[in-house]
Amino acid sequence: MEKSIRDLRSEKVCIQHSKNDFVSSEDLSRHSRGIVYLAVGERFVAEAAVSSKSMRRHLNLPCTIFTNLPDNATRTDCFDQVVAINPSGRRAHRDKLVAMRDSPYDETLFLDTDTFIGAPLDDCWKLLEQFDIAFSTDRGYVDRFPAETGVPDSFKEPNLGVVFFRRSDEMNRLFNESLKIYDKFSNTDIHFFFDQPPFRIALYYSTLRFSILTDEDNCRFTNYGKLNGKCRVLHGRLKHGKFDEKTLSCLLNRLNATTVPRVFAAGTVIALWPRRYNLVHQYRPKYMPKTYLVDYKQLFCRIYKRMMR
């Protein structure tokens, strides 16, 4: 009989996993839906614990972590299953693809350790009723599109920090093909250690149906972007701030001080809203973003005048 979430959490399963590429289905307790993390190193285990705690407040789901420090992960008391791995290299990007492939759940939400959940995500799970996988497109980085792959530049790179996907044979083939491409690139270039370019290529040639998540469900707040509605998932690290619940909750509140259309860059949030809107000022540490409310009609008039000078 399938174990309940409560049973899983009481057991705090720790599985010793010595291989780089394989976790047998018999080794992991099965559940229909759950969360997966990969954390290689003490810093990332600590981040995953913060992320998991934020997730627990909104999602009543079991959580599995793949890590090279199983004892550290177990002591946090934040994970239902702890899978001990041997990292495949100096960067964990290849291990990330393996962890996603070896998820013990029929439907999985994979989260990077530097994520913070601020609201329920029920409607994102509904995407898996019609699609095989859902993610946001990446930005803030230099795209790495090898010309010889035949994938057009217009097929943008997925961001694998927040990914919903469901188990299937075709999904397993996608991850396995991504790993083959990763190995091919890393064998010819010692500086190659990225998970997203191989995944992009494999996805382009697959038959899987995919959906794009909204910016609010994968907010890369340390770079630049736009929001329209409530931001639900933060993704990134503050350069001069701690990665803890207090700091990230404060940051989320600042980004959601208003939910009208807004843009952010370099620590500043500009909300496009008529002047009659009055913002209630909140406490803002020096590393938190400022929020400015701008009359969008006047804003674009000023931009137009500057262009015509």
Do 193 and 300 sit in the same domain of this protein? Answer: no
Interatomic CA distance for residues 51 and 58, integer angstroms: 12
Do 17 and 140 sit in the same domain of this protein? Answer: yes
Secondary element (H or E) of residue 294: strand 290-294
Banded pLDDT at 258 (limits 50, 70, 90): confident
Do 54 and 182 sit in the same domain of this protein? Answer: yes
| 229 CB neighbour count, 10 Å cutoff | 14
Q: What pLDDT is attached to residue 25?
A: 43
Q: What pLDDT is attached to residue 48?
A: 98
Residue 162 or residue 262, greater confidence: 162
Do 265 and 183 sit in the same domain of this protein? Answer: no
User: Can you read off the two tokens belonging to residue 161?
Assistant: 């920090």
Domain count along the chain: 2
Interatomic CA distance for residues 256 and 279, integer angstroms: 11
Is residue 5 predicted with pLDDT exceeding 70?
no
Do 26 and 130 sit in the same domain of this protein? Answer: yes
Banded pLDDT at 277 (limits 50, 70, 90): very low
Do 89 and 193 sit in the same domain of this protein? Answer: yes
For residue 16, the domain's CATH number is: 3.90.550.10
Banded pLDDT at 238 (limits 50, 70, 90): confident
Asked if 132 and 210 touch (Cβ cutoff 8 Å), the reply is yes
What average pLDDT does range 90-100 have in this prediction? 90
What average pLDDT does range 275-282 have in this prediction? 43
Do 227 and 101 sit in the same domain of this protein? Answer: no
**Planar angle of CA 4, 245, 84, nearest 5 degrees:** 50
Look up the domain containing 302 and give its range: 216-308
| 230 CB neighbour count, 10 Å cutoff | 12
Asked if 72 and 45 touch (Cβ cutoff 8 Å), the reply is yes
Q: What one-letter code names the amino acid at 27? A: D
Q: CA of 284: how far to CAs of 247, 250, 256, 287, in Å?
A: 10, 8, 13, 8
Burial of 31 (0-12, 13-18, 19+ CB in 10 A): buried
Interatomic CA distance for residues 202 and 72, integer angstroms: 34
Do 200 and 229 sit in the same domain of this protein? Answer: no
- Considering 188, 213, 238, which residue would you say is the last residue of a domain? 213
Banded pLDDT at 307 (limits 50, 70, 90): very low
Is residue 40 left, alpha or beta, with left meaning phi > 0 and alpha meaning psi from -120 to 50? beta
Do 243 and 266 sit in the same domain of this protein? Answer: yes
- Considering 179, 213, 247, which residue would you say is the last residue of a domain? 213
Do 185 and 139 sit in the same domain of this protein? Answer: yes
Residue 69 or residue 11, greater confidence: 69
Which stretch, 45-54, 144-153, 191-200, 242-251, has highest mean pLDDT? 45-54
Closest CA to 77 of 66, 67, 87, 63: 63
Q: What one-letter code names the amino acid at 24? A: S
Banded pLDDT at 280 (limits 50, 70, 90): very low
What average pLDDT does range 276-280 have in this prediction? 43
Do 104 and 182 sit in the same domain of this protein? Answer: yes
Per-residue pLDDT of 19-52, as tens digits, reads: 445 344 445 555 699 999 999 999 999 999 999 9
Q: What one-letter code names the amino acid at 139? A: R
Is residue 113 left, alpha or beta, with left meaning phi > 0 and alpha meaning psi from -120 to 50? alpha
Q: What one-letter code names the amino acid at 128? A: L
- Considering 191, 213, 235, which residue would you say is the last residue of a domain? 213
For all residues of the chain together, what is the average pLDDT? 82
Banded pLDDT at 8 (limits 50, 70, 90): very low
Banded pLDDT at 293 (limits 50, 70, 90): low
Q: What pLDDT is attached to residue 233?
A: 98
Interatomic CA distance for residues 257 and 96, integer angstroms: 34
Interatomic CA distance for residues 270 and 260, integer angstroms: 10
Interatomic CA distance for residues 81 and 73, integer angstroms: 9
User: Can you read off the two tokens belonging to residue 292?
Assistant: 């400015």
Is residue 282 predicted with pLDDT exceeding 50?
no
* Torsion angle of the four alpha carbons 178, 182, 185, 188, in this order, in degrees rounded to the nearest 10: -140
Do 293 and 175 sit in the same domain of this protein? Answer: no
Tell me which of 83-92, 149-158, 207-216, 300-309 is least confident: 300-309
Q: What pLDDT is attached to residue 189?
A: 80
Q: Give the global pTM.
A: 0.82
